[in-house]
Structure 1
């Protein structure tokens, strides 16, 4: 495979002869920065974009009208008791057939 040329800006921090590892000696760590200014609230952004009204008015404007009811889903599997009964029967069948089910036995 042909060697790939590394852009000059990366040559001080990237050594292609070391399987793509970063040359940590060439990377300088920066100090901790100061906290930035607080950003605008969603209401303030809405006002900046033309919303007219109080914050309460804006909150109420977020509530849309009710949508249509969805279709009914499929019936569920059954009760927990029925589920556990099926598991017990499967376990019995596995034991009778000497099937390794990956358990802790």
Structure 2
């Protein structure tokens, strides 16, 4: 199924119906804290977390918490989510690299 306006594809009628609210500006979901309106219930759920401070997405390495899954995923891709004392090994176990950023700097300079 495709949206007749933007031609985006959907795997169910309910997802297409939900998407169509973006084009019609229908915003039936209302924040109970500030009365801001949203076209998607998931967008409202994420917005409410700004008011409540809820951060359900936690890093298993450092326990940093995020209100949205995208924030956790961005954190996990960065070097910040690694434990501060973790050392990465270079090609020789006798040569520890003290920080992931050091390894990123070190590898391009290696002569193999």
TM-score (norm 2): 0.24
TM-score (norm 1): 0.25
Q: Which has the higher contact order (CA 8 A, sep 6+)?
A: 2
